[in-house]
Chain A
Amino acid sequence: MTDNYCERPTSLLLAGILLLIVAAGCRNEAAAPDHRSELRSIKLATTTSTDNSGLLAELLPPFQAMYGIEVQVIAVGTGRAIKHGENGDVDVILVHARAAEDRFVESGFGVNRRDVMHNDFVVLGPAEDPARIKGSADVAQALRKLAATESFFVSRGDDSGTHKKEMALWEAAGVPPEGDWYLPAGQGMGAVLTIANEKRAYALTDRGTYQAYRDKLALEVLVEGDRRLYNPYGVIAVNPARHSDARYIDAMTFIGWITSPEGQAIIRGFKRGGEVLFTPDAVLDGGAGAD
């Protein structure tokens, strides 16, 4: 019935190749190992802005080299990162939303929260600055001006750390962010900046992401330095009492490392576009070598 089908060597070869690809997926080849127990690894949920800053690409390889633990990074919005922590889908979370972090620990989802670093948020806007907020030391007042002039503002709108900070600032300003000028994009920081750039609008961003995108943007830093723009990062281990499968020891090793003098030194030394992005918070004084 199947004319010469089986006699064609090329057909068999192609079938063989397809099968090999499928088989390779089942074993642990070319791509990194898939099954957890084959290599010590932990899963870290963090935010897209943290991942996009490039810090983790500097921070994780030395950790893996020293401890033999691979850190698999799942970069999502803050809300979702915390959710994965609550559900026990990951072993440790690194986010920047203090109120949510505290709730996370209080509810028993996480243990051993430690400060890691901070960066700050800045308000970006077009050079022509129609709302005239440039150089303002009071971010709340700057936001009031934006609302009053109905200048376009692009928001994360995704319950992320950045978004939560933004909401807190609108509340401090006493102005509801509503109207045709307010644009919640529901996407990551990079996408939001691209939109703001396109529309010549204002936006709130962490300095790290700004540095990463600087050459693509025609926007400038207009407001910075207000202590309410301070953006602290916390790392929390998922509670092993809650999720017995959580790799608690390895997660603690990771936490220990990024808050150690070595880890902190890497953070301090991380630069983008010639500027330091993060200020380490864990080791307050100079620290005397590794322990």
Chain B
Amino acid sequence: MGGADFIADSVTTAFGLIFGGAPGVFSAVLVSLQVSVTAAFLCTVIGVPLGFAVAVSNFRGRHLLITLLNTLMALPTVVVGLFVYAFITRQSLLGPLDLLFTRKAMIVGEVILGLPIIIALTNTAISALDRQVRDTAITLGAGRLRVSLTMLWEGRFGLLAAIAATFGRLIGEVGIAMMLGGNIAAHTRNITTALALETSKGEFSVAMALGIVLLTVALGVNFALRYLQGRGEVRP
């Protein structure tokens, strides 16, 4: 069948999946959200302060660190998956924690994947701030914490972009989810691993439909992020 047929077929299947509420699809969406939103949240909480620290610091190896972070952004997801697997497989250090093939393991892997992204992009966002933000806050008597918060607030557009980029990377990845989750139906099967499964079964239309579902979900989360950030603010 031609490309147009394929797309049309996929879109129809997608609507059928979304509104027909096939239970497998619903649970896959939920797993995707639970894992990726949690992982993105953790990345933000850990990564933004670290990225901020890198941006305002001035130590010797700073440029080297930034180069390293940028390099880590190219980490293939399967590599991250293997790396974490080595630590949580039964006979390893964290084996007794019984993490392999759980959503928790998927979250751990995705946090590792996302941290370099959020740190590097936060550093960029804060570094791009006018130097005077800090000077102005200081001369108006702000203490250290307030100065930092003010810089974060002034840099919020860049920060939002960083969070959105990180989330997008996480919800769309499949290597970690597959390796650490095991694609177990109803437990660790998320949209991307379900997509991979359907593709491997030759069910291309279903796979494409799942892709459309994924994009819709990601769109929803991004809209929520944008809305939280605020409307009608003038961009610097």
Residues of chain A whose beta carbon lies under 8 Å from any beta carbon of chain B = 1-3, 5, 10-11, 14-15, 17-18, 21-22, 24-26, 30-36, 43, 48, 52, 72-76, 87-89, 187-188, 190-191, 193-194, 212-213, 216, 243, 245
Contacts and interface: CB of A to CB of B under 8 A. Distances in A.
B38 interface: yes
B52 interface: no
Contact of A52 (B31, B95, B199, B201): B201
B34 A21 contact: yes
Contacts, number: 103
B228 interface: yes
A22 B90 contact: no
Interface stretch (B6-14, B66-74, B124-132, B184-192): B184-192
A157 B91 CA distance: 29
B35 interface: yes
Closest 7 CB pairs of A and B: A25-B34, A88-B90, A74-B182, A32-B186, A190-B201, A188-B200, A194-B202
Given A21-B34, A25-B38, A243-B90, A31 B187 contact: yes
B104 A87 contact: no
Given A17-B224, A87-B91, A243-B91, A25 B199 contact: no
A106 to B, nearest CB: 19
Interface string B16-40: 0000000000110011011101100
A5 B35 contact: no
B76 interface: no
A22 B187 contact: no
A4 to B, nearest CB: 9
A21 B31 contact: no
Contacts of B37: 18, 21-22, 25
Contacts of A188: 200-201
Nearest to A5: B230
B148 interface: no
B100 interface: yes
Contact of A245 (B27, B96, B201, B228): B96
Pick the most buried of A25, A73, A87: most chain B CB atoms within 10 A of its CB.
Answer: A25
A15 B228 contact: yes
B153 A1 contact: yes
A10 B223 CA distance: 12
